[in-house]
Protein backbone atom coordinates (compact mmCIF):
# COMPACT_ATOMS: atom_id res chain seq x y z
CA UNK A 1 0.00 0.00 0.00
CA UNK A 2 2.84 2.35 0.75
CA UNK A 3 3.73 2.39 -2.95
CA UNK A 4 0.46 3.90 -4.12
CA UNK A 5 1.54 7.52 -4.21
CA UNK A 6 3.74 9.71 -6.36
CA UNK A 7 5.64 12.63 -4.95
CA UNK A 8 7.55 15.20 -7.04
CA UNK A 9 9.85 17.46 -5.04
CA UNK A 10 11.27 20.51 -6.81
CA UNK A 11 11.85 18.54 -10.02
CA UNK A 12 13.88 20.25 -12.74
CA UNK A 13 14.61 18.65 -16.07
CA UNK A 14 16.75 19.96 -18.92
CA UNK A 15 16.86 18.10 -22.23
CA UNK A 16 20.26 17.43 -23.77
CA UNK A 17 20.98 20.71 -25.52
CA UNK A 18 19.96 22.64 -22.42
CA UNK A 19 16.24 23.42 -22.77
CA UNK A 20 14.69 23.38 -19.29
CA UNK A 21 11.29 21.69 -19.72
CA UNK A 22 10.52 21.34 -15.98
CA UNK A 23 11.47 24.19 -13.65
CA UNK A 24 10.78 23.17 -10.06
CA UNK A 25 7.70 20.94 -10.08
CA UNK A 26 6.30 19.73 -6.75
CA UNK A 27 3.09 17.83 -6.02
CA UNK A 28 1.87 14.66 -4.38
CA UNK A 29 -0.77 12.30 -5.67
CA UNK A 30 -2.12 9.94 -3.03
CA UNK A 31 -3.73 6.53 -3.14
CA UNK A 32 -6.85 6.30 -5.31
CA UNK A 33 -6.73 9.87 -6.65
CA UNK A 34 -7.50 10.54 -10.32
CA UNK A 35 -5.61 13.62 -11.44
CA UNK A 36 -5.66 15.42 -14.80
CA UNK A 37 -2.47 17.08 -16.02
CA UNK A 38 -3.39 20.09 -18.15
CA UNK A 39 -1.44 22.68 -20.12
CA UNK A 40 -0.68 23.98 -23.58
CA UNK A 41 1.47 22.20 -26.15
CA UNK A 42 5.02 22.29 -24.86
CA UNK A 43 4.02 23.00 -21.24
CA UNK A 44 5.96 19.93 -20.07
CA UNK A 45 3.19 17.36 -19.52
CA UNK A 46 4.84 14.45 -21.35
CA UNK A 47 8.21 15.33 -19.84
CA UNK A 48 6.63 15.19 -16.39
CA UNK A 49 4.90 11.85 -17.05
CA UNK A 50 8.18 10.30 -18.24
CA UNK A 51 9.57 11.06 -14.78
CA UNK A 52 6.89 9.02 -13.01
CA UNK A 53 8.48 5.73 -14.00
CA UNK A 54 12.04 6.81 -14.56
CA UNK A 55 12.08 7.00 -18.36
CA UNK A 56 13.58 10.39 -17.56
CA UNK A 57 15.42 11.17 -14.33
CA UNK A 58 15.41 14.70 -12.85
CA UNK A 59 18.36 17.03 -13.46
CA UNK A 60 17.60 18.33 -9.97
CA UNK A 61 15.02 17.42 -7.32
CA UNK A 62 13.46 14.05 -6.60
CA UNK A 63 10.60 11.79 -7.62
CA UNK A 64 9.33 9.21 -5.14
CA UNK A 65 6.91 6.39 -5.80
CA UNK A 66 5.72 5.53 -2.34
CA UNK A 67 8.81 5.21 -0.20
CA UNK A 68 10.98 4.35 -3.21
CA UNK A 69 13.08 7.14 -4.75
CA UNK A 70 13.12 6.85 -8.57
CA UNK A 71 16.75 6.04 -9.41
CA UNK A 72 18.46 3.82 -11.96
CA UNK A 73 18.71 0.96 -9.49
CA UNK A 74 15.06 1.17 -8.36
CA UNK A 75 13.61 1.19 -11.90
CA UNK A 76 12.41 -2.45 -11.94
CA UNK A 77 10.46 -1.88 -8.70
CA UNK A 78 9.14 1.51 -9.83
CA UNK A 79 7.96 0.09 -13.16
CA UNK A 80 6.01 -2.67 -11.43
CA UNK A 81 4.19 0.04 -9.50
CA UNK A 82 3.70 2.68 -12.20
CA UNK A 83 2.24 1.59 -15.55
CA UNK A 84 2.61 4.07 -18.41
CA UNK A 85 0.32 4.25 -21.43
CA UNK A 86 2.10 6.27 -24.12
CA UNK A 87 0.35 8.80 -26.32
CA UNK A 88 1.08 6.74 -29.41
CA UNK A 89 -0.22 3.17 -29.00
CA UNK A 90 2.16 2.01 -31.74
CA UNK A 91 5.02 2.66 -29.30
CA UNK A 92 3.49 0.03 -27.02
CA UNK A 93 2.52 -2.71 -29.51
CA UNK A 94 5.23 -4.66 -31.28
CA UNK A 95 4.49 -8.39 -30.89
CA UNK A 96 2.86 -10.64 -33.54
CA UNK A 97 -0.53 -10.80 -31.80
CA UNK A 98 -2.56 -8.83 -29.31
CA UNK A 99 -2.29 -11.66 -26.74
CA UNK A 100 1.52 -11.67 -27.12
CA UNK A 101 1.64 -7.92 -26.63
CA UNK A 102 -0.44 -8.15 -23.45
CA UNK A 103 1.63 -11.12 -22.23
CA UNK A 104 4.96 -9.39 -22.89
CA UNK A 105 5.24 -7.57 -19.54
CA UNK A 106 4.15 -10.48 -17.31
CA UNK A 107 6.44 -12.88 -19.24
CA UNK A 108 9.30 -10.45 -18.76
CA UNK A 109 8.59 -10.47 -15.03
CA UNK A 110 9.27 -14.20 -15.16
CA UNK A 111 5.76 -15.24 -14.12
CA UNK A 112 4.67 -18.84 -14.75
CA UNK A 113 2.70 -19.36 -17.95
CA UNK A 114 -0.67 -20.08 -16.31
CA UNK A 115 -0.37 -16.80 -14.37
CA UNK A 116 0.60 -15.00 -17.60
CA UNK A 117 -2.48 -16.46 -19.31
CA UNK A 118 -4.72 -15.43 -16.43
CA UNK A 119 -3.38 -11.85 -16.56
CA UNK A 120 -3.79 -11.62 -20.33
CA UNK A 121 -7.40 -12.79 -20.08
CA UNK A 122 -8.22 -10.37 -17.25
CA UNK A 123 -6.54 -7.38 -18.89
CA UNK A 124 -8.23 -7.92 -22.26
CA UNK A 125 -11.57 -8.44 -20.52
CA UNK A 126 -11.10 -5.21 -18.54
CA UNK A 127 -10.74 -3.18 -21.74
CA UNK A 128 -13.45 -5.11 -23.62
CA UNK A 129 -10.98 -6.52 -26.15
CA UNK A 130 -11.09 -10.27 -25.45
CA UNK A 131 -12.19 -11.05 -28.98
CA UNK A 132 -9.07 -9.34 -30.38
CA UNK A 133 -6.63 -11.70 -28.61
CA UNK A 134 -5.53 -13.62 -31.70
CA UNK A 135 -5.45 -10.61 -34.05
CA UNK A 136 -2.19 -8.98 -35.15
CA UNK A 137 -1.84 -5.68 -33.25
CA UNK A 138 -0.74 -3.73 -36.33
CA UNK A 139 -4.07 -4.28 -38.08
CA UNK A 140 -6.24 -2.80 -35.33
CA UNK A 141 -8.12 0.49 -35.51
CA UNK A 142 -6.91 3.46 -33.46
CA UNK A 143 -9.47 2.90 -30.70
CA UNK A 144 -8.74 -0.84 -30.54
CA UNK A 145 -5.00 -0.11 -30.35
CA UNK A 146 -5.58 2.30 -27.47
CA UNK A 147 -7.62 -0.34 -25.60
CA UNK A 148 -4.95 -3.01 -26.18
CA UNK A 149 -2.16 -0.58 -25.16
CA UNK A 150 -3.99 -0.06 -21.87
CA UNK A 151 -4.32 -3.86 -21.50
CA UNK A 152 -0.53 -4.27 -21.97
CA UNK A 153 -0.12 -2.05 -18.91
CA UNK A 154 -2.98 -3.56 -16.85
CA UNK A 155 -1.48 -7.05 -17.28
CA UNK A 156 1.46 -5.84 -15.18
CA UNK A 157 -1.07 -5.12 -12.42
CA UNK A 158 0.39 -1.71 -11.59
CA UNK A 159 -0.94 0.26 -8.62
CA UNK A 160 -0.66 3.56 -10.46
CA UNK A 161 -1.73 4.25 -14.06
CA UNK A 162 -0.14 7.09 -15.98
CA UNK A 163 -1.57 8.03 -19.38
CA UNK A 164 -0.53 10.54 -22.02
CA UNK A 165 -3.53 11.91 -23.92
CA UNK A 166 -5.57 8.71 -23.91
CA UNK A 167 -8.53 10.17 -25.84
CA UNK A 168 -6.48 11.77 -28.65
CA UNK A 169 -7.67 10.64 -32.09
CA UNK A 170 -10.59 8.60 -30.77
CA UNK A 171 -14.08 8.97 -32.27
CA UNK A 172 -16.85 9.93 -29.86
CA UNK A 173 -17.98 6.34 -29.28
CA UNK A 174 -14.47 5.07 -28.56
CA UNK A 175 -13.79 8.11 -26.39
CA UNK A 176 -16.97 7.51 -24.40
CA UNK A 177 -16.10 3.80 -23.90
CA UNK A 178 -12.61 4.73 -22.74
CA UNK A 179 -13.87 7.32 -20.24
CA UNK A 180 -16.32 4.78 -18.84
CA UNK A 181 -13.59 2.16 -18.62
CA UNK A 182 -11.21 4.51 -16.80
CA UNK A 183 -13.98 5.75 -14.49
CA UNK A 184 -14.48 2.15 -13.35
CA UNK A 185 -10.81 1.64 -12.42
CA UNK A 186 -9.84 1.92 -8.77
CA UNK A 187 -6.27 2.79 -9.77
CA UNK A 188 -4.44 5.90 -8.73
CA UNK A 189 -4.31 7.78 -12.03
CA UNK A 190 -2.40 10.66 -13.60
CA UNK A 191 -3.69 11.62 -17.05
CA UNK A 192 -2.20 14.28 -19.33
CA UNK A 193 -4.88 15.59 -21.64
CA UNK A 194 -6.18 18.41 -23.82
CA UNK A 195 -9.66 16.88 -23.43
CA UNK A 196 -11.01 19.24 -20.77
CA UNK A 197 -14.44 17.58 -20.74
CA UNK A 198 -12.83 14.24 -19.98
CA UNK A 199 -10.67 15.86 -17.29
CA UNK A 200 -13.78 17.29 -15.66
CA UNK A 201 -15.70 14.03 -15.87
CA UNK A 202 -12.93 11.62 -14.85
CA UNK A 203 -10.62 13.55 -12.55
CA UNK A 204 -11.74 15.37 -9.40
CA UNK A 205 -8.32 17.05 -9.24
CA UNK A 206 -6.26 18.80 -11.91
CA UNK A 207 -2.73 20.14 -12.09
CA UNK A 208 -2.17 22.95 -14.59
CA UNK A 209 1.33 23.15 -16.00
CA UNK A 210 2.58 26.32 -17.62
CA UNK A 211 6.11 26.60 -19.02
CA UNK A 212 7.39 23.76 -16.87
CA UNK A 213 5.86 25.01 -13.62
CA UNK A 214 2.73 24.13 -11.66
CA UNK A 215 0.44 27.11 -12.27
CA UNK A 216 -2.46 25.61 -10.29
CA UNK A 217 -3.37 22.42 -8.46
CA UNK A 218 -6.89 21.89 -7.16
CA UNK A 219 -10.43 20.73 -7.89
CA UNK A 220 -10.84 20.38 -11.67
CA UNK A 221 -14.19 22.21 -11.78
CA UNK A 222 -12.85 25.24 -9.91
CA UNK A 223 -9.67 25.31 -11.96
CA UNK A 224 -11.51 25.22 -15.29
CA UNK A 225 -13.90 27.94 -14.11
CA UNK A 226 -11.05 30.29 -13.21
CA UNK A 227 -10.86 32.40 -16.37
CA UNK A 228 -8.09 34.61 -15.08
CA UNK A 229 -5.94 31.58 -14.30
CA UNK A 230 -6.63 29.97 -17.68
CA UNK A 231 -5.90 33.24 -19.47
CA UNK A 232 -2.58 33.57 -17.66
CA UNK A 233 -1.69 30.02 -18.77
CA UNK A 234 -2.80 30.83 -22.34
CA UNK A 235 -5.63 28.31 -22.09
CA UNK A 236 -8.77 30.39 -22.21
CA UNK A 237 -11.31 28.73 -24.50
N1 LIG B 1 13.65 15.24 -26.84
C2 LIG B 1 13.59 16.55 -26.61
N3 LIG B 1 14.65 17.34 -26.82
C4 LIG B 1 14.63 18.67 -26.59
N5 LIG B 1 13.52 19.32 -26.16
C6 LIG B 1 12.42 18.60 -25.95
C7 LIG B 1 12.38 17.18 -26.18
N8 LIG B 1 11.15 16.74 -25.87
C9 LIG B 1 10.44 17.82 -25.50
N10 LIG B 1 11.20 18.95 -25.53
C11 LIG B 1 10.78 20.30 -25.18
O12 LIG B 1 10.33 20.32 -23.83
C13 LIG B 1 9.16 21.14 -23.71
C14 LIG B 1 8.05 20.31 -23.08
O15 LIG B 1 7.66 19.30 -24.01
P16 LIG B 1 6.57 18.22 -23.66
O17 LIG B 1 6.56 17.23 -24.74
O18 LIG B 1 6.79 17.74 -22.28
O19 LIG B 1 5.23 19.12 -23.70
P20 LIG B 1 3.71 18.67 -23.59
O21 LIG B 1 3.09 19.52 -22.53
O22 LIG B 1 3.63 17.20 -23.44
O23 LIG B 1 3.13 19.14 -25.00
P24 LIG B 1 1.98 18.49 -25.94
O25 LIG B 1 0.67 18.99 -25.38
O26 LIG B 1 2.27 19.09 -27.27
O27 LIG B 1 2.12 17.00 -25.90
C28 LIG B 1 8.84 21.65 -25.12
O29 LIG B 1 9.34 22.96 -25.23
C30 LIG B 1 9.59 20.71 -26.02
O31 LIG B 1 10.00 21.35 -27.19
MG1 LIG C 1 2.82 15.68 -24.64
In this prediction, residue 237 carries a pLDDT of: 64
What is the Cα–Cα distance from 134 to 47, expressed in whole angstroms? 34
The closest-lying atom of ligand 1 relative to the alpha carbon of residue 212 is 14
Region 22-46: what's the mean pLDDT?
96
pLDDT-derived band at 235 (thresholds 50, 70, 90) equals: confident
User: What does the pLDDT read at residue 3?
Assistant: 57
Strand order in the sheet with 160-164: 82-85, 160-164, 188-192, 34-38, 205-210, 213-219
Tell whether the model's pLDDT for residue 1 goes beyond 50.
no
Q: 57: number of CA atoms within 13 Å, CB side?
A: 8
Is 58 near ligand 1, meaning CB less than 6 Å away? no
Helix axes 98-108 and 113-126, enclosed angle (nearest 10): 130
Question: 44 CB under 6 A from ligand 1?
Answer: yes
Q: pLDDT digits over 181-202, tens only?
A: 899 888 899 999 999 999 999 9
170 confidence band (pLDDT: 50, 70, 90): confident
The predicted model scores a pTM of 0.93
The atom of ligand 1 lying closest to the CA of 19 is 5
Mean pLDDT across 46-54: 96
Structural contact between residues 65 and 78, judged by C-beta atoms closer than 8 angstroms? yes
User: Given this model, what pLDDT does residue 4 score?
Assistant: 80
Question: Are the CB atoms for 164 and 86 separated by under 8 Å?
Answer: yes
- Secondary structure class of 205 (helix, strand, coil): strand
Domains of the chain (ranges plus CATH)? 6-232 (3.40.50.300)
Amino acid sequence: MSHHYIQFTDVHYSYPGGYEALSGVSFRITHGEKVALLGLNGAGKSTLLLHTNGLLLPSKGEVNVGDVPVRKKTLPLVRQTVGMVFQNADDQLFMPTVADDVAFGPRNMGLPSDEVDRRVRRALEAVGASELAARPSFGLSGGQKRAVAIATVLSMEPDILVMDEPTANLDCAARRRLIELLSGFGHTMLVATHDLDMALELCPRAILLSRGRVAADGPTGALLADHQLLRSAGMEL
